[in-house]
Amino acid sequence: MKNNFQKKVIGGTSYLNKNCWLAKSLNYPPYERCRYCNYKFRNCLFLHYQVISAVLIISSFSVIFLVERKLSTLLIMVIFSLVIVYGYYFNQSTETIIKSNFSEKKAKEDLEKLTDQLEDKVEEQTKYLKELLEMKNDFLRVVNHQLNTPLSITKGCFSLLKENIYSPDKALPSIESGLERLSSTIADFWDAYELEGERMKMNRQKTDISDIINRLIEEKQRMRLAQERKLTIEIQEPNFQIPLVWCDYKKIAHAVSNLLDNAIHYTREGKVTLFYELSGDYLKINVKDTGVGLSDEDKKRIFKKFSRGKNATDLRPDGSGLGLFIAQKIVEGNDGKMTFFSQGRDKGSTFSFTVPIYKSQKIGLEGEELVSRGKKIVIFDDNNKKKI
Amino acid sequence: MRLTTAKKTEKCLILFFEDESELISIYHDIFKMNGYNFVSTNKIEEALQITSLKHPDIVLLDIIIPKPEDTMAEQGWEYLEAVKKDIKTKDIPIVVFTNLDTYQDRAKSEKMGAAAYIFKRDCTPCEVVETVAKIIDCDRKKKVRK
């Protein structure tokens, strides 16, 4: 389509100068140079040459005939030869000039177009860089605030403990939770940073996810908050054999853990249920709670960074607002999809994600052994990376 | 342990506009211990209502108070602007008490009429109580002079 269009523009092989009476009548360009011309027929230089030559020949012959009363055959031959030879070279040179003029004009146009495009590109890039800079500043502001907050709680409690205003029994739990919050916020920020730029590599392998989930559920049942609220945290056993899945089990465990944490924090009473479903080539994992649910406002921005639900500050003051963002990125990095469902405020919510069922996928480059974070010690022995 | 500077401030009312429950609990304890009346909220409407009805002696104002649609909403500025606009409340000393520590935030606080700027992370609760007592003292003297 684009090529056809290009052929029909001036200089193209199928170009027909519609301004030229002759070309239009013939329905094809009479000469090669007519491809580069958009003049009217009466402005055609070659036509002028032909007409003038004809007039000159006729008038010369008439004058000679009137003066000498005869026309020598030799003279006629000489004049015609001159006209033909001159015409040929005139034709050739005009064609070359027209072509080179056309190329020059075209090059200029292309250059202008390119300059315009470059200017647009530079403008676009500058805008993008400005946005990035703004985002970086916003991010640093958030990081600064989110890190300083647990630090100010910890330092405040510590100073009250030091001044003997607080007893160790009162101060230590707050100091401990402040430090815990600090370290998990730092971990969350780093995960979000790595996941956003897709720097976090997925080390996918054949995984028995039910085993990981069983352990996570046991861990969450022991959580202080869950015990205080007397929440029931359970797995609804499926009526099918849970298939092996193809994923990075550490990252997926992190995502499931985030979903369970969220469910526990936003459920004042009742239960948190994890259940499995089969969906084509995927295993669907659902975390359902009887908690505060999601308002329409919450639903719009639920997976955004630093986004927290309407009741977030009351129910989870330590949340960084990154948990769901991280979980979603991990799920997507493993070729799954994350969805949620809630009938509204105080009606509970269900967060679900899919993960591909193992079907003899092979470990590719992504499966290469990587030095992962989260390890306490990593020893670098020459070029071999060993993890402890 | 009571702080000496807070002895004359028996009936002072402190409004703490803050969303962090742990911090509220710490400052509630320390201010109560030093004989202040202490009230806190994390809702701007409530904070403005308390300010105009109870006329607190001082306000400790956090800047980042999340809104449902924005978790990093800087509602503290909105509150400060509203209080300073109202002729009945504009003389209440407001101490910006935040974990933001940029030159711009400090300059903005001063420009908007805050009485002081405390960077939460670097101040102990006792230092905060002392500063609050000093500001209340200064404010009272100023009012007596008037």
pTM of structure:
0.60
CB contacts under 8 A, A 155-174 vs B, are 155-157, 159-160, 163-166, 174
3-state percent helix, strand, coil for chain A, nearest multiple of 5:
55, 15, 30
Q: What is the pLDDT of residue A382?
A: 46
Distance CA B30, CA B125 (A): 7
> Predicted ipTM?
0.86
A310, B15 in Cβ contact below 8 A? no
A142, A306 in Cβ contact below 8 A? yes
Is B101 within 8 Å of chain A by CB?
A: yes
For residue A41, what is the DSSP state?
G
Q: Who among B21, B26, B121 is closest to A151 (CB)?
A: B121
Q: What is the pLDDT of residue B71?
A: 65
Residue A280: count of CB within 10 angstroms of its CB? 9
Q: What is the pLDDT of residue A320?
A: 55
Q: Which two tokens stand for residue A10?
A: 């001036």
Interface probe, candidates B2, B16, B21, B22, chain A, greatest A C-beta count within 10 A? B22
Q: What is the pLDDT of residue B118?
A: 93
Interface probe, candidates B32, B71, B118, B126, chain A, greatest A C-beta count within 10 A? B71
Interface probe, candidates A141, A144, A165, chain B, greatest B C-beta count within 10 A? A165
- Over 90: is that where the pLDDT of B18 sits? yes
Q: What is the pLDDT of residue A116?
A: 95
With CB atoms and an 8 Å threshold, state whether A317 touches B120. Answer: no
Is A296 within 8 Å of chain B by CB?
A: no
Distance CA A310, CA A326 (A): 19
CB contacts under 8 A, A 311-330 vs B, are 312-313, 317, 321
Q: Which two tokens stand for residue A356?
A: 């591909």
Is B24 within 8 Å of chain A by CB?
A: no
A-chain residue closest to B66, CA distance:
A313
With CB atoms and an 8 Å threshold, state whether B72 touches A149. Answer: no
Q: What is the pLDDT of residue A368?
A: 40
With CB atoms and an 8 Å threshold, state whether B99 touches A298. Answer: no
Q: What is the pLDDT of residue A321?
A: 63
- In chain A, DSSP finds a helix count (H) and a strand count (E) of 11, 9
Q: What tens-digit pLDDT sequence spans chain A (388 residues)?
A: 445 555 677 777 788 888 888 888 888 888 877 888 888 888 887 788 888 888 988 888 888 888 888 878 888 888 888 888 988 888 888 888 888 888 898 899 999 999 999 999 999 999 989 987 887 787 788 788 888 989 999 999 999 999 999 999 999 988 988 898 888 788 777 777 777 665 567 888 889 999 889 989 998 888 878 888 899 999 999 999 999 999 988 889 889 988 998 898 888 889 999 999 998 899 999 999 998 888 776 666 666 655 555 445 444 544 556 778 888 888 988 999 999 888 877 888 899 999 999 887 665 544 443 333 444 454 554 444 444 3
Q: What is the pLDDT of residue A384?
A: 47
Q: What is the pLDDT of residue A301?
A: 63
B-chain residue closest to A151, CA distance:
B121
The secondary structure element, H or E, covering residue B120 is none
Return the closest-CA partner of residue A230 out of A260, A275, A263, A271. Answer: A271
With CB atoms and an 8 Å threshold, state whether A317 touches B26. Answer: no
Q: What is the pLDDT of residue A313?
A: 45
Residue with more model confidence, A86 or B57? B57
| Per-residue pLDDT tens digits for B90-128 | 999 999 999 988 888 999 999 999 999 999 998 999 999
Q: How far apart are the first and last CA of chain B?
A: 35
The secondary structure element, H or E, covering residue B118 is strand B116-119
Radius of gyration of chain A (CA): 40
Is B66 within 8 Å of chain A by CB?
A: yes
Chain A nearest C-alpha distance from B88 (Å): 31
Q: What is the pLDDT of residue A219?
A: 87
